[in-house]
Structure 1
Amino acid sequence: MVIDHITRAVIYYHLHPGIEVALRYIQTTDFSKLENGQYEIAGEQVFAIVQSYDTKDPSAEKLEAHKKYIDVQYVVSGQEKMGHALLKAQIPSREYQPDNDFMLFDEAPDFFSLITEGMFTIFYPSDLHMPCILHQAPSQVKKVVVKVGVDFIGDDL
């Protein structure tokens, strides 16, 4: 798991070829001109999801995890808290769904981080995360989630 500001993205390029692609995409894209939706970057191996929403109370949310994709989440505007925990021996409350690359867990996060405009997170399959959480009061957020295939080696570009 990584939490940082996009101005420092270059120090994370080496982590995975798809993470470099994702971070460069975030750094070079004007998201004020993009509508909510999905955008192809490198086929099914790297793609972006632009979304806008109101942050939520954590009591109704669950931790999530993925197996096929690494999440690179970037807050374009607004702010939200994200809950975190490491995937150890927890049993999913919602079994893994391969079509959506998604499973849910009932455990509470170990901690929360405040992610503000210009910050990004990287969540690996071993990182449970609970995004979209309010900080003090519900607020509007625009965020980009770049999905990076764990098997991506860069040949798809």
Structure 2
Amino acid sequence: MIIDKLENHKLYSGLSDRIAMAFDYVTQTDLANTPIGTYEIDDDKVFAIVMEYITKDIDEANCEGHHAHIDLQYMISGTEYVGVTTLTNQTPISEDPEKDLDFYDTTSSLVKFDTGTFMIFFPDDLHMPSVHIDAPEKVKKVVVKIKVH
């Protein structure tokens, strides 16, 4: 997992061409005014999902993981906690290979995710987004899905 301010994105663009494409999208798109939806960047290899939602109580959240994609998440507006932990020997409580989405009932450490910050989650990183800090809050963020192979 990587967490940093968007202004430092060039430090990570060299990780792969697809990650560089994802950062190009995030830095060159007016995301504050981009409607909710899915946007193709490089066919099915790199695509963005712009979303808005109300953060929730930690008791309503589970960790999720992906096998075929890296997530680059950027907080457009709002603040939330994201639970983070490493995939070791946890067993999924549900699996959806078609959506590349597994859910886990596991403990995690909470990290504050603020406007202007990005997080990168690799397949060995479990993450629990959308957790409110003091009270439910509306957030807008983009998740760029980056196919691993």
Same fold per TM (> 0.5)? Answer: yes
1:107-126 map, 5 Å: 107-109=106-108, 111-126=109-124
**Partner residue in 1 for 2:145:** 147
**Partner residue in 2 for 1:4:** 4
C-alpha separation in 2, matches of 1:80 and 1:24: 24
Note if 1:106 corresponds to 2:122. no
Distance apart, 1:145 and its partner CA: 0.2
**Partner residue in 2 for 1:92:** 92
Deviating beyond 3 angstroms after TM superposition, the runs of 4 or more aligned structure 1 residues are none
**Partner residue in 1 for 2:17:** 17
Distance apart, 1:150 and its partner CA: 0.4
Aligned length: 149
The answer for unaligned runs of 5 or more in structure 1 is: 152-157
Partner amino acid, structure 1, of 2:9? A
Partner amino acid, structure 2, of 1:104? F
TM-score by length of 2: 0.98
The answer for unaligned runs of 5 or more in structure 2 is: none
**Secondary structure of the equivalent of 2:89?**
coil
Give RMSD over aligned pairs: 0.7
C-alpha separation in 1, matches of 2:5 and 2:148: 23
1:63-78 map, 5 Å: 63-78=63-78
Distance apart, 1:33 and its partner CA: 2.4
Distance apart, 1:98 and its partner CA: 1.6
**Partner residue in 2 for 1:154:** none
Note if 1:55 corresponds to 2:55. yes
Q: For residues 73-110 of structure 1, give each alpha carbon's deviation from its aligned partner in whole angstroms, at most 9, with x where no partner exists.
A: 00000111100000001111113x1210000001121x
Distance apart, 1:32 and its partner CA: 2.3
TM-score by length of 1: 0.93
**Secondary structure of the equivalent of 1:4?**
strand
Partner amino acid, structure 2, of 1:93? I
Partner amino acid, structure 2, of 1:63? C
Q: For residues 113-141 of structure 1, give each alpha carbon's deviation from its aligned partner in whole angstroms, at most 9, with x where no partner exists.
A: 10100000000000000011101111110
**2:128 equivalent among 110, 127, 130:** 130
